[in-house]
Chains A and B, each alone.
Chain A
Amino acid sequence: MIDFASFNPAAVFGYFIITAVIAMFNLNPVTAVISLIGSLSLMLIRGKGGKYGVHILALLTAAGCCIINPLFSHNGKTVLLVINNNPVTFEAFVFGLVTGITAASVIYWYSSFADIMTSDKIIYTIGKASPKAALILTMALRFIPLFARQAKEINASQKAMGLYKNETIISRIRGVSRVFSAMITYATENIIITADSMAARGYTGRKRRPYALFSFKRRDAVFTIVFLLLAGISIFSTASGAFDFWFYPEITAIRTDAAAIAGYTAFAFLCMMPTFIEGGDRLRWRYLKSTISVSHIPQAGGFSTEST
């Protein structure tokens, strides 16, 4: 099955960065909604729609933008209500809403990014440009689960020795800092051995070559060319003013001439690309499965009855 995650990490990384940048730095209700639909549908089609934390964060961010902007920005013609002699305007509210939708879509993009770009893929992508940073990042990511497990063990042994009391807050803090202190000793002493072993194996000597499991296939090239083309059209539309939309002093109409429609279409295709890649394949699988009816399955001796 071809899913979006199986594409070359560098191409996927570039796709996410460029799409998110175009979505983030545009201030237009149409692009905001397109970006939200694209990011949300990617999440849903990958079966990750049940992550409630992400939805709550996105909702809170959007709500925050909707509330904060009209409270502090008093531009705009249409006054809705007056609080402390300060007018709350409809235009400022719409501005907040558009910013909020954009922010929510970026959170959804990031959620899919974190889901698809696992640490090995990120390290593959940045490893060539910055091997030192990639190495440090890899090691730190590996230490996190290791230290968490070790901290649990130290905690358990301290409890068994009767050193760890959690009656009052102060004794708890003392207990935690004792565990932490032991952790530092454990980590630094052990890690020096790792470092020496790395040096002994020639880490400092020659140029290092990273081990990479990923290849740049033809479909990655096609994907990269198509998304760069669509992104180019979207950026051109932004620069040429086709995506222009002004809130103050009065909300302008959304442009619906050919240039704007072309720009929106290109941006919509850009945002929906991963969903199409995942969805198209899933549809084909469904179709193939539905055509496998019982009559098509050759049964024992089935061929002989047909021939007679």
Chain B
Amino acid sequence: MNTERISPLKKILSVFIPFILMPALVISGLFVFRARGMLWMITAVCALTLVIFFCGFEKRKTGTRRLVLTAVFIAFASIGRIICSPLPGVNPITAVTVLAAVYLGGEAGFMIGAFSVLISNIAASQGTWTPFQMLAWGLIGMVAGLLGRFLEGHKIRLCIYTLTAGVAYSLIMDIFTVIWEMNGFTVSAYRAVIITALPFTATYALSNVLFTLLLEKPFREKLGRIKVKYEI
């Protein structure tokens, strides 16, 4: 490994951008867009968090094989979501992200979750919600990667994880829906949105479990083998 010397300018920037520039951007936006302050804050914070995550990944050295495999599963998850798009609430992103993250690790999990949303939203629609969705799915993948040892090969644990992730994701997305449509947050509106979205939440969480059950075996066999064979 060749260790590069970090220039003082880079050092200053690495402190200045995340700790001064980004909060300043969010806070000044609050004064500019007063009418939609809450929506601005939540979107800007998500977008900037994503930037910080990706900068972190940029610094880490990732093996070429792991990098390319990450791209493969992004493609799988995106195709799955595009195919399932006629069925509301059904998509395999969570299942594919979690199962791949268990074998490939947290960084790959984050990338698979975030990028498959970004790509498949091209077919659905991109909007203010994109950074929010990317962060939510990225974190689902990352946590699955960190829990890798605990989840690997356990069908029941995996199902519980994807079920919980599905419900949690829906509940968090409902917060966003309330802020987006009402420009504020009230508990009564949140309750109303949760009740309206209940069928979607239920289909989504159950379809997650179904996809996990279907995909667990091929993923375990193939990724397990690849991992041993190529030392990823």
CB of A125 within 8 Å of the partner chain: no
Residue pair B126, A114 in contact (C-beta under 8 Å): yes
Roughly how many angstroms separate A68 CA and B193 CA in the complex, as a whole number? 9
Question: Taking A26-B33, A27-B35, A187-B72 as contacts, is the C-beta distance between A144 and B78 under 8 angstroms?
Answer: yes
**In the complex, chain B residues whose CB is within 8 Å of the CB of A110:** 125-127
**In the complex, chain A residues whose CB is within 8 Å of the CB of B58:** 130-133
The stretch of A198-206, A210-218, A256-264, A270-278 in contact with B is: A198-206
Question: Taking A132-B67, A181-B218, A188-B222 as contacts, is the C-beta distance between A107 and B76 under 8 angstroms?
Answer: no
CB distance from A162 to the nearest CB of B (A): 21
Tell me if B's interface is mostly helix, strand, loop or mixed: helix
Which residue from chain A places its CB closest to the CB of B36 in the assembled complex? A25
Roughly how many angstroms separate A144 CA and B118 CA in the complex, as a whole number? 14
Question: Which of A71, A140, A189, A245 has its CB near the most chain B CB atoms (within 10 A)?
Answer: A140
CB of B137 within 8 Å of the partner chain: no
Tell me if A's interface is mostly helix, strand, loop or mixed: helix
**In the complex, chain A residues whose CB is within 8 Å of the CB of B79:** 144, 147-148
Residue pair B75, A245 in contact (C-beta under 8 Å): no
CB distance from A30 to the nearest CB of B (A): 13
CB distance from A246 to the nearest CB of B (A): 8
The listed residue (A107, A131, A140, A244) touching B115 by CB distance below 8 A is A140
CB of A285 within 8 Å of the partner chain: no
Roughly how many angstroms separate A198 CA and B226 CA in the complex, as a whole number? 18
Which residue from chain A places its CB closest to the CB of B61 in the assembled complex? A204
**In the complex, chain B residues whose CB is within 8 Å of the CB of A141:** 75, 119
Interface size class of B (residues with CB under 8 A): 35 or more
**In the complex, chain A residues whose CB is within 8 Å of the CB of B31:** 239
CB of B68 within 8 Å of the partner chain: yes
Residue pair B29, A196 in contact (C-beta under 8 Å): no
CB of A192 within 8 Å of the partner chain: yes
A154-193 Cβ-contact flags toward B at 8 Å (1 or 0): 0000000000000000000100010011011101110110
> Can you identify 6 A-B contacts, CB atoms within 8 angstroms?
A26-B33, A131-B58, A133-B111, A139-B68, A143-B74, A188-B226
Top-6 shortest CB links A-B: A143-B75, A139-B71, A25-B33, A27-B35, A140-B74, A181-B218
A26-B33, A147-B79 given; name 15 further pairs at CB < 8 Å. A25-B40, A26-B35, A27-B36, A71-B192, A73-B189, A114-B122, A133-B57, A136-B71, A136-B115, A137-B118, A141-B119, A143-B72, A147-B75, A187-B76, A235-B32
Q: Please list the residues of chain A having a beta carbon within 8 angstroms of any beta carbon in chain B.
A: 24-28, 57, 64-65, 68-69, 71-73, 95-96, 99, 103, 106-107, 110, 113-114, 130-133, 135-137, 139-141, 143-144, 147-148, 173, 177, 180-181, 183-185, 187-189, 191-192, 194-196, 198-199, 203-204, 235, 238-239, 244-245
Q: Please list the residues of chain B having a beta carbon within 8 angstroms of any beta carbon in chain A.
A: 29, 31-36, 39-40, 54-55, 57-58, 62, 64-65, 67-72, 74-76, 78-79, 111, 115-116, 118-119, 122, 125-128, 180-183, 188-189, 192-193, 214-215, 217-219, 222-223, 226, 230
